[in-house]
Chain A
């Protein structure tokens, strides 16, 4: 089996507070293969963005990685010095954030920002860097790129700004792009365009994508595989089609039923009672057990690990372990 591009193993992120340590990510493990788009979904507070921040070493203090490891092409990157990490960030891992207005500096033109990024990471002359920047803007669909490159961020509309941010993320030919809610701030008609640009531009350059979003629809259209996060743990991970059409974890299937669709005409949406637990009140055993309709004793006692289900699927739910026990007998 080839080494995955990114491998995250048992990642633990903790926030020490006056009232004790909060564990925001609890033994999160997943891989991203080369050229793959991995979707990461979950509701607010599930730890999606935190996973992205931990990988690129941008955890905000006092948050810290308290365990596990992150490997990029086999090399550990979670214990690099800030100086070394800075060379990975941007060069090997590009980033696209939710709000395109805050990820661009309003005081510099787009050209200055792109050229600076390119020349920080690649050995190019000013002129070549500019040529490259125009090519990137053109690729992400900015009309008259050669002229517009000298505009300031405020001259661009929201969708166009997000295109500039994607161009910035791709400027140094990274191997992985982490996109954190890249379309959440945009209108639906623009969202579809940005998702297409992001996916195509990354595939062309052979970059893998970690797409963090709360929108299952975006994942369905974009990702190859999807990881579902619940209360800082991976509940289910597998190929998109399998997870969306035949979710196995009770949380995922509840979540899928809760989403209204254009084609379905159900009178009522599936309802998961309650809400996600706070970090200081995560129940013992399976974090989902108080809301689960299939709960049994073991769920309240032991935490389920990810159980391989074949075809690349993994589910953290005791229901499937029990099945296996039965099969053994």
Chain B
């Protein structure tokens, strides 16, 4: 297991979404909790791209925020390069933080509009004391060229750039602390397809050049298919399936994964028959008992309504479904 860069064990996060105290007293309500991430475990190997996919409310972004240390887990452990992340110790977190960075979804909100691009990119270098003086300016220029902009752009402000160019600036900033690991939270979902292609190609080139490891968060299965080596599928805060990218798309094990794949519009016009998708993601405050997917599952069995399935090893990963545990013939593909 020496090549594991990031290991997540039993990661859980609750949010208190109770009404104010007075309302609770008057209306005799209990406190309410939303479980955004429920006992999630996975490993990311050095140099690979691991993707988390799921629909809105599945906990993708919550997990990303915990991994970069922006949110503290309610339970569970995150180990980065063998060391457990210690949220209590500021100093320990700071040394770890240099080694991982994050790229956010909205390039309009993630860059300070009052700062020049050069200062935005130099901030991590200054914060971590990696360089001094004129060296910083040279490094900023170099980084801008690495992401396909010009060194002269350092003097401009973010509003002078288009969405795609801003995302390039965000990538340059992420690279400036020389990280090994980058969490990309929906990096292209705010961009047009032709610009998305440019950014995805750039991310791949940088991965080859700097040996980066990515955690890619996305709701777009085709982007995930294109970018990643391994994929985890989330549903209501639970990891329902983890598998190698190829395997997940050719031989999905969990009924939810199959449903997601069927829902993607077919650009190839192959006329493949699709299983009709039914229902919507339930309210995460009060998820269904047992397997959270059971109200929408075409293969639901009595135990699915009561017992939460555990992750069971599959050919290239794990899947959490009672159908697999029984050794019963797997549901036929639609």
Contacts and interface: CB of A to CB of B under 8 A. Distances in A.
Contacts of B196: 258
Contact of B267 (A158, A190, A220): A220
30 contacts: A43-B192, A43-B193, A157-B280, A188-B263, A189-B263, A189-B280, A192-B263, A192-B274, A216-B267, A217-B265, A220-B265, A220-B266, A220-B267, A220-B269, A258-B197, A259-B193, A259-B222, A260-B197, A261-B267, A262-B221, A262-B225, A262-B249, A263-B268, A268-B204, A270-B197, A271-B194, A271-B197, A271-B198, A271-B201, A276-B192
Contacts of B276: 193, 196
A3 B25 CA distance: 68
Nearest to B165: A275
B55 A188 contact: yes
A217 B266 contact: yes
Contacts of B226: 260, 266, 269
Interface in B199-251: 200-201, 204, 219, 221-223, 225-227, 249
Interface residues of B, number: 39
B32 interface: no
B217 to A, nearest CB: 15
Contacts of A195: 265
Chain A interface size, as a band, is: 35 or more
A225 B260 CA distance: 27
Given A188-B55, A188-B264, A262-B222, A275 B277 contact: no
A257 B198 CA distance: 12
Contact of B269 (A189, A218, A245): A245
Contact of A190 (B192, B222, B261, B280): B280
Nearest to B148: A273
Interface string A268-292: 1111100110000000000000000
Interface of A: 43-44, 157-160, 187-193, 195-196, 214-218, 220-221, 240-241, 244-245, 254-255, 257-263, 266-272, 275-276
Secondary structure class of chain B's binding surface, majority of residues: helix
A272 B274 CA distance: 32
Interface of B: 55-56, 162, 164, 192-198, 200-201, 204, 219, 221-223, 225-227, 249, 259-269, 274, 276-278, 280-281
A120 to B, nearest CB: 31
B169 to A, nearest CB: 15
A267 B193 CA distance: 17
Contacts of A157: 280
Contacts of B194: 43, 254-255, 258, 271-272, 275
A43 B188 CA distance: 14
Nearest to A195: B265
B227 to A, nearest CB: 8
A214 B194 CA distance: 11
B124 to A, nearest CB: 27
A214 B196 CA distance: 13
B197 A269 contact: yes
A193 B277 contact: yes
A269 B205 CA distance: 12
A296 B86 CA distance: 61
A269 B277 contact: no
